[in-house]
Amino acid sequence: MDGVFLSALLPPLKNLVLGRKCKKIGCPSKDAFGLMFDKGILVLNARPDSPGLTWNNAVNMAELPSPAWSHHLDGAKVEDLTQPGADRILHICFKSGFLYGNSDVTLIFEAAGRNANVILVRSEDMRILACHRKVSSARSRYRTIAPGQVYVPPPSSGLSPGSWVSSTELKNSIKNEKHSPALLYRLLEGVGPVTAKALIRQAETNETSLIEVVAELEKALLEQSFSPWEGPDGPLPIELAEGKPIEDPFSIKTSEKDSTDIREDRFETWTIILRRRLSFLRKRLTGVEAALDGLVSPEKYRTWGSLLLCAENNSRKGLKEIELKDWNDCEHLIPLKPFRSLKSNAARFFRKASNTGKEKRNLDEHKLNALNEIESLELSLSAASDLTVDELEALLRNHRKKVRDHDDRRKRIEAILLSGGWRCFAGRNARENEEVTFKTGKRDDLWFHARGYPGAHVVLKLDGRADNPPGEIVLEAAVEAARRCGASSGVIPVDYTRVQYVNRRRKGKPGQVVYTREKTVFVNLDKLS
């Protein structure tokens, strides 16, 4: 449901519920909220694939899990219904029947696709009392939705009605770009894919300019003159292109064809995920089998090492391979590391001989795990055709959660707490060093690195403090850099400077930097507990 169609539902909805008391609030189905009035039940459907509202005469409703909903809304009187701009947001303002205190509450219905939500807030300060879906700061940088938080509305989806036709940006975009639905719903508030397609289709059918059709819709929104219309893609606020009138706009429900399309979409998405994972595992299995076939026996490694030690001038370097004869006059073509001497290569082969058994066990374990997962995925793929929409959605939801949790584990860099409330951040690899230095660190924060060691970048956050950190805090941060440089003992020189004097090395890899205006402190690892 587009925001402009929600605007068309607002006038008749006011006639149904304005000034009336909500007898009861309940749960007609999963992701749905039912408000019972004298004349019927208003159902707010927050299902991600088909959000919307309907009006029913009789619906079986279960109790909501949180008592806050019924505590504030049972017996409450509807004082106002508003829609901010033309977005897919409906505010239902209630005056509760409490005898004492300010008890005004607002029920906010956000019919925003996969982010659809129903939120109950206190009207005076917009403090959230209850919500259908919680949104944590890890999932959204823009706002947090949870009981106790102050409600922040979602960002506007574009230009509000009244500024459409006069918008220079819209005129230039229509003039310079090819007409596409994305062009319209990217610029116009409340216009989604359904309305955007209808506007373009109307302009093509009537052979008029697209801006004239947009002006017609804008006028209807401003004057509240609606004639609900069912187009081939969905409901519309006015008659646009082919379709038929909607006699009861509140009875709009997802058709059987739409449900089938939704199921097919979920099925296709799930099977693509399974096939991609299968393809990845088969490639991994091929690589593991190739590694197993290419394993050299410990006896051969020891023979190569012994032959290299017995070779003439075994201190020479630069050879990629060498051909030597053993004591049985058998020839051996031995691969070498050219930057190492023959003696150093011999030591490497002896180490490999002692680790070959462990390497083979690890490869066998990887092969077994890959085979088991491939078998499980093939079974899941064959059973996917029998799954229902709800089962497919549950699988996709779990998959997205696993991906999100994996990304969070990779991206999360925990703060290291120092004395006096100071914080520092340390990278664990090249990618995290890049993030700590150039994303976490600000211009005036202090940057630390152990000189001459390929270790961690450490950033000491000033967190808005105007004064420089005390010497003991600088030393604590230097200790964190020294501990992460790879050395286990000795005196480590740690350079530090402002983040603004640290720059990426030209044509360097992630985490490679150059810095200036540094100072140095010396950390004795032997004296650290």
Segment 27-46 shows an average pLDDT of 89
pLDDT of residue 101 exceeding 60, the answer is no
Residue 411 has pLDDT above 70, yes or no: no
Pairing mode of beta strands 244-245, 229-230: antiparallel
pLDDT at 255: 40
Mean residue pLDDT of the chain comes to 87
Counting residues of the chain whose pLDDT is more than 70, the rounded percentage is: 95
* Structure tokens, 520: 């140095």
20 and 127 share one domain:
yes
The pTM of this model reads 0.53
Pick from 247, 276, 300: which residue ends a domain? 247
Residues 118 and 9 reside in one and the same domain: yes
Confidence of residue 36 (pLDDT cuts 50, 70, 90): very high
Count of domains observed in the chain: 4
- In the predicted model, is pLDDT for residue 256 greater than 50? no
Task: Return the axis-axis angle of helices 298-310 and 342-383, rounded to nearest 10°.
Answer: 160
CA 329, chain centre distance (Å): 64
Q: Are residues 423 and 404 in the same domain?
A: no
Taking residues 90-118, report their average pLDDT. Answer: 83
Where does a domain end: 131, 155, 189?
131
**Do residues 431 and 498 share a domain?**
yes
305 and 425 together in one domain: no
Residue that finishes a domain, picked among 380, 408, 436? 408
The per-residue pLDDT for range 288-323, each reduced to its tens digit, is 999 999 888 889 999 999 999 888 888 888 888 999
The reply to whether 122 and 198 lie within a common domain is: no
Same domain as 125, residue 12: yes
Structural domain including 425 reads 416-527
Q: What sign results for the dihedral spanned by CA atoms 95, 97, 102, 105?
A: negative
**What's residue 519's pLDDT?**
94
Distance CA 459, CA 343 (A): 42
Same domain, 486 and 503: yes
Can you name the residues that pair with 93 across neighbouring β-strands?
80, 106
Say if residue 385 is in the same domain as residue 429. no
In a domain, 500, yes or no: yes
The tens digit of pLDDT for each residue in 138-155 reads 778 788 999 999 999 988
pLDDT in tens, 187-208: 899 898 889 889 998 888 888 8
Q: Give the per-residue pLDDT at 169.
A: 85
Q: What CATH number did the domain enclosing 72 receive? A: 2.30.310.10
The answer on 339 and 435 residing in a single domain is no
481-515 residues labelled b (16+ CB within 10 A) or e (exposed): bbbbbebeeeebebbbbbbeebeeeeeeeebebeb
For residues 7 and 127, membership in a common domain is answered with yes
Report percent pLDDT > 90 for the chain.
40
Cβ atoms < 10 Å from Cβ of 432? 21
Distances (CA, A) of 346 to 125, 184, 329, 351: 75, 69, 20, 9
Co-location of 435 and 401 in the same domain: no
Is residue 257 one of the residues assigned to a domain?
no
Q: Quick check: 351 pLDDT over 60?
A: yes
Residue range 179-189: mean pLDDT, rounded: 84
The residue with greater pLDDT, 157 or 285, is 285
Question: Which tens digit of pLDDT belongs to each residue from 371-401?
Answer: 999 999 999 999 988 888 888 888 988 888 8
